[in-house]
Amino acid sequence: MAAATGLRRPRELVHSLALLGALSALWALPLATLAAAPVATAPKPAVCLIEPDSVAEVGSQVVGLVERLHVERGESVRAGQALVSLRADVERANAHVADTRAGIDADVRAAAASLDLAQQKFKRAQALVKESFVSDQALEQARSERELAAQRLAQARGQQQIYQQERRVADAQLGLRSVKSPLSGVVVERYVNVGERVEERPLLRVAVIDPLRVELMVPTALYGSIQRGGQLTIRPELPGQAPVTATVRQVDKVMDAASNTFRVRLSLPNPNNRMPAGLRCKVDLPGMTQASAAELRPTPKAVPGTAQDAAAPRTGTSSTSGARSGFSLFNRASAQSNTPAPRASLRMALALD
């Protein structure tokens, strides 16, 4: 019984040593053989961003106090629509005075009547001179009065035009107290409240979202495949939103050396503002799969004398020496125990060697 137990222990020791040698040889395999296996990459669409076509920070040309807010955040506005009204008591009074003054034309009518009377006097003087009832001096005086009346009428009409211009100036000053939208779009942000004093800071932010602008960064490998006027399919990252078609509006002629890309701008129609701005999106570009694969899976070449070239033989030598050391350890254990080696462990050691 003791003899049988003594025989099993060397046999178990042999099996353990053989397995240890095989594992050490497997551990010494170069990792480069695993990294050399090709990695399949799924086609990845390019990432884009949907932005407003234009954004305006609307401010006031004059200093004043906010009297009334006509819109709130999120409301749609038209170009020329009043957004904010400032206090305009003085400007409103000046406009009323200028309007009243411009409407008074009594001076013009009086000057016209004087000119008509002077014209009649001159005609009678001409007739009387022919009949020798008056002297030539009376005729010259009538002519002078006629010319003077004509100049007074011209002066009255000129003054009336000045009053009209003053009314326009007063109306313009009054109009400055009303801040209007320069664009047709949506109010994105409101910065002021009623009663606040405004100077140089903006009051509102208005964004145009019809059409929308799509910004896209494209690898330089695809330069030339996208032309101005072409159409691309955009897939917005919005639940329930179907893919839409956008038109290429601009392709940059200058590359970004840091990212090795260039910018493409697209125009996306958005009737009735049905799609919000600020969304991320994806777009499939022609040749994007091949270009992405070339960039994601580079194949460096080993150059003689470099670190990669020097590391390869050392890795292979380590693998072979590990396998041989494991196999030698296995042979020594088998010789000491005088037992045959297991076939599975032997095949593994030979294969690794």
The 10s digit of each residue's pLDDT in 238-296 is 999 999 999 999 999 999 999 999 999 999 999 999 999 999 999 988 766 544 434 43
Higher pLDDT, 207 or 17: 207
CATH superfamily of 44-85+181-285: Efflux pump adaptor protein, beta barrel domain (2.40.30.170)
Dist. CA 247–CA 27, nearest whole Å = 56
Residues forming a β-bridge with 300? none
The 10s digit of each residue's pLDDT in 115-132 is 999 999 888 888 888 888
Handedness of CA 96, 99, 103, 108 (dihedral sign): positive
Phi, psi of 85 (to 5 degrees): -115, 130
User: What is residue 301's DSSP assignment?
Assistant: P
Domain extents for the chain?
A: 10-39+301-352, 44-85+181-285, 88-176
What is the percent of the chain with per-residue pLDDT over 90, rounded to a whole number? Answer: 54
Q: What is the pLDDT of residue 110?
A: 93
The span from the first CA to the last CA of the chain, in angstroms, equals 39
Q: What is the pTM of this model?
A: 0.59
Cα–Cα nearest to 216, from 197, 204, 233: 233
Question: E strands within the chain?
Answer: 46-58, 64-69, 76-77, 82-86, 178-180, 185-190, 197-198, 204-219, 231-236, 244-251, 261-268, 279-283
